[in-house]
Structures are given as C-alpha cells and as structure tokens.
C-alpha cells in the first residue's frame, strides 16, 4: 500500500482520476484501465445530496475497490454536511486519505475541523482539507501544518464536467509558499489539457480529473498529457 504517496511522492504532479467519470456498469475495467495508464491514485467523490445537490457513492464502493485493488491509494473526497459520521465507515472500508470541507465544519463547537483531523489520524488515514470556490484561502490558514493535502475546488462541487474557474488560482498562489514540501496542493474540477498548465504554474501539484481522463478512449495518452504539461 503506497501509504506515503502524498508526503513522499515518486514524481510530481500526481494525477488522480476521479471515478465519478467512469462508466459505473464497468467500474472494475475502468479502474484497471486508468491504473494501467499511469494513474497515481483513485479519487472517490462522495456526495450526500445535502452539502452538494447530488448523490454518488459510499463506503461500499471503497470496500469493493480496496478488495479488487489492494495496492491502490484511495483518496476519498467527502462532500458531505456531517463528515464526522463517515470517518470510521470509510477508514474501515480501506480509504487512505479522507478530505473534508472547511465549509462543513467551521464555527462548530463540536466536530470542528480540529476534532476531525484528529479523528481521521486516529483512524489511520491521511487528512485533507478542502475549500470551495467562494471560500477564502485564509479560512484554512490554521490547518496548513495539520493536513497532508489541501484541496482547492475549481468548480462548485456536485458534478463532473463543469468549467474550470480560473479565479481560484489566486488561492493556489497564496497557499503554495506557505506549505511544507511534504504537503500536497490538489486542485479538482474542470482540469484538462488547457487548464492544467495554469494550475501547475500557480503551484498545484496534484491534479484530479474525471472527464479529461475517462472521456478519451486512450487513457494512457490522456494521463501522460496531463502529467507532462
């Protein structure tokens, strides 16, 4: 299991296909294909129909992926209102990293972001914190040394296939110099061959993509082109 993938990456940028872009009737074949094509991990988009206006997948998907792909790093993006309820289920299912949203936890007395990072570590997972496009980067300034990955959303979360929002790159530029070299700066939403170079230039080092990887028939070429832009 590549437990150290985020802190000690074999190369940068890392490319994480979001399985939300896969054909769900052929999920094992789709995952096999992107892993053979050079994906560094799988990004699993969990939506609760409340934090975002869509429903996707839960711990059972992670359990099945873990069983079928025992050596693959599973990066779980929790777009849910109550992330505290899902730490144990996803950790037990075999997730490697759990990323929750600051919009879900800020200003809470209980189950706030400090409680969650501690709970996730206690469950033996790596920790990510995410910010939506309207949220300023300084909303997570107090967490920069407490997480393994920062996820800057470059679309309003909820659906694959949306257009990249270039204005979030200012947040990437602000965050990058404050991070230590073992912390990854991930960007998610609308990343393709046009937008990825801009994200990389701003300082992102981990690219999440659904459409740009799963739509093309040649996934190897798709991943290669994202990686070497």
Quick check: bond before 13 cis, omega within 30? yes
Give the active site residue among 45, 48, 148, 205: 45
Which residue's CB atom is positioned nearest to Zn ion?
Answer: 77
Alpha helices in the chain (DSSP H): 27-36, 59-68, 87-93, 102-105, 113-122, 169-175, 196-202, 211-214, 219-227
Distance in Å, CB of 213 to ligand DX5, minimum: 8
Residue 120 binding partner per list Zn ion, ligand DX5, none, with a CB distance cut-off of 5 to 8 Å that depends on partner kind: none
Say whether residue 184 binds Zn ion (CB under 5 A): no
Residue 66 binding partner per list Zn ion, ligand DX5, none, with a CB distance cut-off of 5 to 8 Å that depends on partner kind: none
Say whether residue 45 binds Zn ion (CB under 5 A): yes
Give the active site residue among 33, 75, 188, 192: 188
Distance in Å, CB of 45 to ligand DX5, minimum: 5
* Selected binder of Zn ion within 33, 148, 188, 192 (CB under 5 A): 188
Interatomic CA distance for residues 199 and 21, integer angstroms? 20
Q: Cβ closer to ligand DX5: 53 or 182?
A: 53
Interatomic CA distance for residues 177 and 73, integer angstroms? 26
Cβ proximity of 184 and 152 under 8 Å: no
> What is the binding site for ligand DX5 (CB under 6 A)?
18, 20-21, 43, 45, 77, 155, 157-158, 160-162, 188-191, 208-212
Say how many C-beta atoms besides its own lie within 10 A of residue 68's C-beta. Answer: 12
* SS3 call for 57: coil
Tokens 């740009």, residue?
A: 212
- Annotated active-site residue 60? The verdict is no
Residue 158 binding partner per list Zn ion, ligand DX5, none, with a CB distance cut-off of 5 to 8 Å that depends on partner kind: ligand DX5
Interatomic CA distance for residues 213 and 229, integer angstroms? 14
The set of catalytic residues is 45, 188
Binding site for Zn ion (CB under 5 A): 45, 77, 188
């Amino acid at each position: 299991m590549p437990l150290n993938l985020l802190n000690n990456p074999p190369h940068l940028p890392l490319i994480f296909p979001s399985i939300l872009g896969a054909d769900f009737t052929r999920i094992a074949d789709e995952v096999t294909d992107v892993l053979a094509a050079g994906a560094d991990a799988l990004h699993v988009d969990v939506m609760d129909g409340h934090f975002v206006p869509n429903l996707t997948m839960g711990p059972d998907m992670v359990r099945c992926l873990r069983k079928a792909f025992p050596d693959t790093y599973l990066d779980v993006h929790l777009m849910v209102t109550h992330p505290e309820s899902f730490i144990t289920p996803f950790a037990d299912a075999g997730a490697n990293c759990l990323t929750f949203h600051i919009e879900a936890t800020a200003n809470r007395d209980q189950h706030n972001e400090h409680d969650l990072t501690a709970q996730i570590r206690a469950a033996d997972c790596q920790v990510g914190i995410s910010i939506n496009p309207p949220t300023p980067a300084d909303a997570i300034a107090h967490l920069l040394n407490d997480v393994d990955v920062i996820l800057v959303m470059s679309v309003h979360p909820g659906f694959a296939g949306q257009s990249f929002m270039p204005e979030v790159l200012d947040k990437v530029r602000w965050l990058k110099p404050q991070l230590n070299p073992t912390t990854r700066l991930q960007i998610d939403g609308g990343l393709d061959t046009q937008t990825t170079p801009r994200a990389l230039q701003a300082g992102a080092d981990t690219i999440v993509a659904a459409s740009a990887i799963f739509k093309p028939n040649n996934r190897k070429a798709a991943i290669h082109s994202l990686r070497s832009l």
